[in-house]
Structures are given as structure tokens and as C-alpha cells.
Structure 1
Amino acid sequence: MIARVNICLPLYQPWRQLQHEVLNFDAEMVFWSCLFFLWLRVSSANAGEWSAKMPESVVGLSGSCVLIPCTFSYPANGKTYTEFTGIWYHEYSTVVYHTDTSKIIDSFKGRTSLIGDLHQNNCSLNISSLSNSDAGSFVFRIEIKDLNKYSYGEKVSISVKETPENPTVSVEEEVTSGKPVNATCAVSHSCPSDLPRVTWSHGGKQSSTSQPQNHGQWKLTYYSLTFTPSREDHNKLLICSAEFNGKNVTGHKTLKVKYPPYNVSVVTKPSVKENDSVELSCSSDSNPPANSYQWFSLNGTMLAKSPTYKLERVSRHTEAISCTAFNTEGKNCSGPQKMNVLYPPYNVSVVTKHSVKENDSVELSCSSDSNPPANSYQWFSLNGTMLAKSPTYKLERVSRHTEAISCTAFNTEGKNSSGPRKLNILYPPEIKSESSCMSKILTVCVCIVDSNPPSEVKWFGPDSSKSFSSTSIKQNESLTIFTLQGWLGFPETILCFANNSLGSSSLTLEAPQNVKKKSAVMEAFTQTVMFMSTRWVIRDYCHLTEPWKMKWSTLTHEEKGT
């Protein structure tokens, strides 16, 4: 039987080259039948001395490579052989690997290589750029110079997958924010020499790949990532992506990150009415959830230890409150929370310019402190007549006689009114007609000036070359009373000249003459009388209900009294 194998098999390749020229279809069928029969006979007859080890099947990824692990043995009988020729066949007939590359079928040329060393009994075969047409059975044949040639009966079946398996991501079940952690990504592949490109969804330090490990018919390569998780990573996917020649697959693991309370805040109603009660709660984002709380006033006094806190009879003056949340990982505080307390308008006032010139126009606005802000207004005259319904009110051509005005502000919680606001009207001096002089023993002249701002007054004699200063000045709102008094020799006429920043006015007064001589004692006495008389004149003038109807009879009554 061995002789028959040595005769038939060496003729295999020449026969393949000449079969199209010298054999018809029937002769070719006879040849293949003979060859297959002899193959089986050789395998069974020599199984004890000639043997090979290889997996029954391997799975390769389309577009990648596949490795067929293979070892073989032969009957050396104590001899050393140095020349080996290894041949791999696809479906028993097609040469896919040969030392002489010219004998390899075109579809496998450049895609196969013998990874193993035949001298070390290693016949492992690598096939690159795997395609669906490569699927099927593969067998190995060895030719040893000076010994024999043998086709092993063991075969390996290759199947081709279009889609790679998803990677497997491993990481701790719970990680802690701020502490480094290591994750691994196990990627299955069929080609250690053409590893996939692996990327992570999280930044970090990627370590070099580990050596491929056998995993059934696949190889496993582990990729490592060291990163520092944060609270933002909690419940997010850690994704490992593997790219196989344009084909992408992913694996993922949901991160569970422990972190201390964050975004701590005081939660309550959007608003509360003044004098009502309100309950506050302390909210936070943490893992695990917060398990204790503390409440603090604005000055740092601790108010309570509970998830909620109740405020009784709140007011617009209630201080801000903060809370602190605790869990196993730490604590954090909220900012001070000021209650949104609703209350009606108060401190209502009429706001306008500090002063306005007579005959000018002026706009008034109604100001108040309220929550929510005032949403309607009313304006009233001094006698209660409503003038307008608007936030502002315009007065045209104001005068010194313009009455005081008030406003009322309204919101959803109620209303309140300002006090009457009298405008500060500026106008030039006006000397009242009641200004005059009188003469008894002492000559007294009174100049009554109405002005805003108050005026200055100078007195001039007939020749205007000499001025006199007022003996006394009395102010009553916009009226100023200037008094000049003198003895014998007082001029017959005296000029009262008043001026302020807006203008001036003057009035000439006639002073009655009295030439009666007085003794020194009488003069001293009359000085006292006149001083008291002047005080009474001014007082009576200021208190008259009709001030411009002043009568000088007051002085006469004083004299009669003496």
C-alpha cells in the first residue's frame, strides 16, 4: 500500500497540469476517485506513526485573518531529517499553501503563510483577508526528504462570520468619586496579528494590550483603562468600542459612582403670604442619598436637625435660612434661602424733583415697597378728588399756590397711600403791599417778602448811596419779615430791595417824621417799649388769618397800656 501511495501522489501535480489536454471528463473522474480511495487507505494504515493535532473547527471574521493551530509527528526512527515541505489543501484538492508559491491557487496567493516551524513539528497556518468563499475543510500534507510523504487524515473546518462579537467591559460594581479605578475590555478576535482598534468613551490612561489568550475557537485580548470617576459619571455608560476593518462593535457597563451631597438647596413654596406659616425641605443630589440634615440661621445658629423645618408667621423681615445635607461620603451646604414673602404696599411716597420753577411742568411718580410690586396707582388732590390712575402724574405750569398731592399704590395683597406731597416751587421775590413804616417815638419799617428760596433784603435811603441792614429777620414758610428801626433823623423815604437766585423786587416806603424832643430817661423808656412793640407786631402778623390786612393799631394799644 505504501508503494502505491508513493506512485500516485507524486504524480498529482503533473496530472493536474495535463488533465485538460489528455484526459476527458470520464478519465478525470476516475483519477479523483482513485486519489480519494488511496488517501483514506494511507491514513488508516499509518495512524500509529503519522499523526497531527489541530482543532476540528475554527471561526474567522470576514476581512480579518484566521490562525489554524497545528502540530504533527512522523516516524523518525532515531534519524534526523532536515528538509521538509509542508502543504495545505482546501477541500482535499486545492493547494492553498506550498513552499513553491507557483503551486498555490490564485485565490489564496499572498494570503497564506506557515506560522509554525516544520523542524519543530509546528504546521500552524495563517490565512489573511478571510472571505466567505474560504469556508470549508482544510488538511495538511508533509513531504520529508529521504523518508516519505504523508497526507494526514485530520482536518479542520473553517467557518466565516460577518459580524464580530461585542466586547465585554469589566469594572467594579461601585466606584467612588475622585478615586482612580481600573476597567478592562475583553475583545474576541481570530487574528492576533491584526488586532482591532479599541477606544473608550471615558478619558483616562490606556495601558498596552495584554497577550491574546485562547477562548475556544477565538482569541481574547484585554485592554485596560485607568480613570478617575466623578459624580457626573453616575449611571452613565462606560463604553468600549472595537473596530475590525471598518466593522464596529461595542460593549458597555453602567457606572455606579458614590459621591457626597451636591446641589444642596432649600426647597419651599414659590411664595408665602406675610404672617402665614411655611415648611422648608432640604434637597440634594448624592449617592447614596443623604441620611441626615441640619438647618441654620443667617448668623450660623443651628435651628434644627431634620429633613424639613417649619417657619411660623413669616414676615418681610424673616431672615434667609440654609441647610446642610450629610451622607456616607461627606456633606455639603446650601446657600442662604430668602423666603418670597408677599405683602401689600408700604412706605408709599410721591417722588419728584427736589424743586421746580414756577410755571414749569413736573412729573410725579408713586413709589412703594411691596411684593409683588404695585400694579396700579391712583392720584388725589388735597381735598380727595381723584386726579389720575397711572404710575406717574404730570402737573402743568405749577405755581406757588399748587396744592399738595398724594398717591395710592395697589397690589394683589392690598393697598396703601402716601402723605400729601407739597411741591417745592421756586419763584422770585414779591414784596407785599402790607409792608410799611410807622413813627411814634421810634420809626419802625417792616418789609414783608414772599419768595422761594428766601431773599436777602437791603435798605436804602433817598440817595441810594447808603444802605442799612435789617434790625431783625423773621421767617414763616415762604414769607420773610424784615424790620428796620431808627431814631430822630430817619429818612422820609426808605427803599426795601429784595433779591434771590430767580430775581429781585423793590418797594419805597414813606417814614413819618417826629421831631419831638425826648429826655434821656424817656428815650430809654421808649426804647424798651418799642422793642416790645416790634415783637408784638411781628407775632400778630404771623398769626393773622388774613395776613395782608395787618393793622398798626397794635402799637397804639401797647402805648395805651404803658
Structure 2
Amino acid sequence: MIFLTALPLFWIMISASRGGHWGAWMPSSISAFEGTCVSIPCRFDFPDELRPAVVHGVWYFNSPYPKNYPPVVFKSRTQVVHESFQGRSRLLGDLGLRNCTLLLSNVSPELGGKYYFRGDLGGYNQYTFSEHSVLDIINTPNIVVPPEVVAGTEVEVSCMVPDNCPELRPELSWLGHEGLGEPAVLGRLREDEGTWVQVSLLHFVPTREANGHRLGCQASFPNTTLQFEGYASLDVKYPPVIVEMNSSVEAIEGSHVSLLCGADSNPPPLLTWMRDGTVLREAVAESLLLELEEVTPAEDGVYACLAENAYGQDNRTVGLSVMYAPWKPTVNATVVAVEGETVSILCSTQSNPDPILTIFKEKQILATVIYESELQLELPAVSPEDDGEYWCVAENQYGQRATAFNLSVEFAPVLLLESHCAAARDTVQCLCVVKSNPEPSVAFELPSRNVTVNDSEREFVYSERSGLVLTSILTLRAQAQAPPRVICTARNLYGAKSLELPFQGAHRLMWAKIGPVGAVVAFAILIAIVCYITQTRRKKNVTESPSFSAGDNPPVLFSSDFRISGAPEKYESKEVSTLDSH
């Protein structure tokens, strides 16, 4: 389109064509609002040598050939026209000046069609031009929207209406443009084929909210009731924005979890669920559901939803927290330490939420932490009393697990006060009671007789171990003389200790005087003493185990009271023999 500030190309062509040829020039198409008028511009030419005195012309409707009896729109010779055009058609141009412009008034839909002009110069000099104009009767303004409207980018929307009626001039106004921008009316513009249009422009920067907005244009004609409206819906393209998504999700291990992601965009986005760079599910849709069946702790983590189209992308994340009971605690190792050393024991587990961790021995709680996955127990300068079985217990609201472990404290032998010698009727039995770790070797020395007996000599020495206590018994055949001196020596890799065993009884060997019955009674008393000592040591020492307990849970109630039900120990019974003294 160009402004009416230069000579129209249409008329330049007419002027240049004057050279004596039959020809006509008119717009190939033209439009008009129903009830208004339309002026169809027309120029024609004929050979100069004809020089007619009078030039006549005829306009036909829908056919150029008179033999087909087409409806006559206008006829200059007789003014006889088809009934559809009576009072509606008028020639605006001067045929003598080769101007055949036609005016149609009060147009209606049945007048839409093809219009042909026939030149009549008299006699046989008549010519129907093949050129014709197609009239379109319209009822709505033409709103022109760019083929692509992108949010954030300025666009120009135009409203165009035909302005080919010299009697009625249209006025344009915009409908529903509030918030978009102020319109600018350009006025009349001439088209390439000589027709006229009235144009109004609307400039604005669309937003995503403007997508689908119904924008209208109204053409009205002053001093009439004629009004025509046209509408166009804006198809605004914009990048995705995620508008719907789960907040952080907590789920119990083994339960079902649904994660929803919804996005707003035009065109619809490609939605993708991802975790740690791995695509879990994707689809072109406005929303996408990710289903997780029987979730495990391995599925705990951050899930991302990515929405993208040709105009951009958006992404959001959601955290999935899988709640589960503690795993079986792990301990750094079964600990072996030397007396006096500092021992550090680390107990760790995994759970959600973090557990309460407790380390205890028997009924005594040694260390505890709340909502931590690790617990460190420091034992400075361990002693033999620290030796024994320990438990590490982890618990939260979803369950409880426990692990047993052993602390083995190694130390030099200690000869206990229970060590002594005792007399029977014809024997002397010497007990050497030693506490040590690892197990010591025990030797009995009789200095007066220059004899040393080791505990490896099983025919003379019987040994029994209970926990950390080793009891070795040497049996001697008695004689009626002063009690022998007996020195007990216990030795392991950490040292050696010796003790001259005290004699429990009279200054002389009394069994020679009390007879056989007394000897039996004395021996029974000695056996009772040994059993009492053994039972006493069992109660004072914790049963040792060289490795972790295979059980899952300790024999206690962790959350309230601590009750331990120990298992009976099994000991090997061995025969005691005597050593003849010389």
C-alpha cells in the first residue's frame, strides 16, 4: 500500500497505453460493506483511427457475452438495466474521456460477483473486454495479526476496511484493547490496483496473559446506523512457566509416591522428570505425573522437572525424603587393647530421620547421642574391668537395630588373694588363681625340693579358666613333716608375677592324726572351696567372645530398663592326679 501523494500506477499505465489498441483496466477485486456503496474505477481504450462521434458503454454482471443475456448493470444508450440494479447503478466516468468508472449504491450480498465492461463505438465497433472486477460484499472489518506473536516482543495489529464509497466514509475504533496500547489511525491508503482502504494500527507488547485475548475492530459510518465489527483472538507464544508442583515430600519406605509437574506455555511444553541427570519420564503435555512404587532409601533425593518449548524453558526441583528404620549398626572392629591405652570405638548407622545411638555395657549407658548417625566412645587408660561385651543400639520412630561387639583388654598377670595351699589327710593341694589376658602360663616351684612343675604337665596340674581368671591346682602327697614352700609364677607377654602360696591349716600336718574319716571330710571341704571360688569369679566377670555377636538385638529393652539374661558357660572337667615327693 502507498499513500495518495503520488500519481497512481493505474493511471500511469492508462496514459502509457494510448496507442490505438482495445483494452481496459480495472481492479481485479474490490470490496464494500453491505448497505454502503462502491465505486469501481475503470479506464478503457480503442484504436485511434476509429474516431467515433459518440462513445457508449455497457456493464454486465457475471458474463461478458451479450448472447448469454447477462444481467445489464448499466447501459448508456437506453438506461435499461436489470431489476436488481434499478436505482443502484450509475456511471461516474465520462465515456468520451475513456473513463468507465461505475458506482453501485446500497449494495447487498446478491450484487457480489464479476463485473464486465463493453465498449460501444457504433456499428460493428463494439468490444467486450475480458478484464473484469470481482465485487465482494462484506460484513466485518479485516483484522490483520502478524503470523507470530511472541510475549515480550512488540507487535503491530492493523484493522483494514474498504473505503471505496465516495458517499460514505468509515470511521474505525478498537474494541477490547484496554491494557494493550493506544491505537493510531493512519487514514485512507491507496492499494496497488487503485482501490482505497481505511487503516488503524495498534502497537503493544503482549504478555502471556494476553494469549487468547479477543481483540475487536468496529467500522461505523457517520449519520447512519451502519456498524460493522470484527474480532481476532491473539495467539501469543511464550516460554513455559512451571505452575504446579509438589512441595517437599516425605514418604515411609515401601509406600507409593506421586510427583506432579504442571506448566503453562504456548505451544504446550515438553515436560521431563529427571534425577541425577537421568530421564525418568517425559511427554508433551500440560502436566506430567511421576509414579514411584514401593520407594526405598535409594530413591531419596532431589527430583527435577524441566519444561521447554521453542521459546524457552523453566525447571523446578522437589525433594523426596524416604523415612526408614536404622540399619544394623557397624562398629570399627572387635577391639583389642593393652591395659593403660586409650580406646576409641566408633559406632555408625544409617536411617531417616537420624537415630538415637547408645553404647552400653551390661546395665550401664556409656555414651549416647540424639539424631546423629555416628557415636564415638572414648575409653582413656583401659583396665581389665573394661573388658567384656558391649552393645550399640540405634532407634527411631520407625524401628530399632543393635550390634554387639567385644573389647578385649590385655594385661600382665595378677595373682589373686584366693591363691593358697590346703592340707588333706595325705595330700596338699595348692591353688594358684591368676587374672590375666592373654591366658598365662603357670608354674609351681618347690624351692626346698628344687622342683618346678608347669601347668602343661597335666598329670600333676589341673587348670580351669573362667573369663579372665585361670585357676591352676597342684596336688602333692603329704608327709608327716612341715608344710612345703610353694611359689606360684604366672607369665604372659606383658610380664610375670610370683607369689609364695600361704598354707591354710595347723603348724604341723594334722591329717596324720585325724584318721581316714577326717581326711575325707577335709577333702570335701577343699572341693567346696574350689567350687565357691569358681562361682564367685563367674559372677564378677563378663563372658568373653572373640568376635562380634551374630544376633541382631541384645537381650535388653533399650527404651526403658536394661535386663540381661546371661547364658550358662560350659567348662571342661579334668582329672586331678598327684605328684610323689621325694
Q: Normalising TM by the smaller chain, what interval?
A: 0.3 to 0.5
Normalized per residue, which structure has more helix?
1
TM-score (norm 2): 0.32
> Structure 1 length as normaliser, TM-score?
0.33
More relative contact order, 1 or 2 (CA 8 Å, 6+ apart): 2
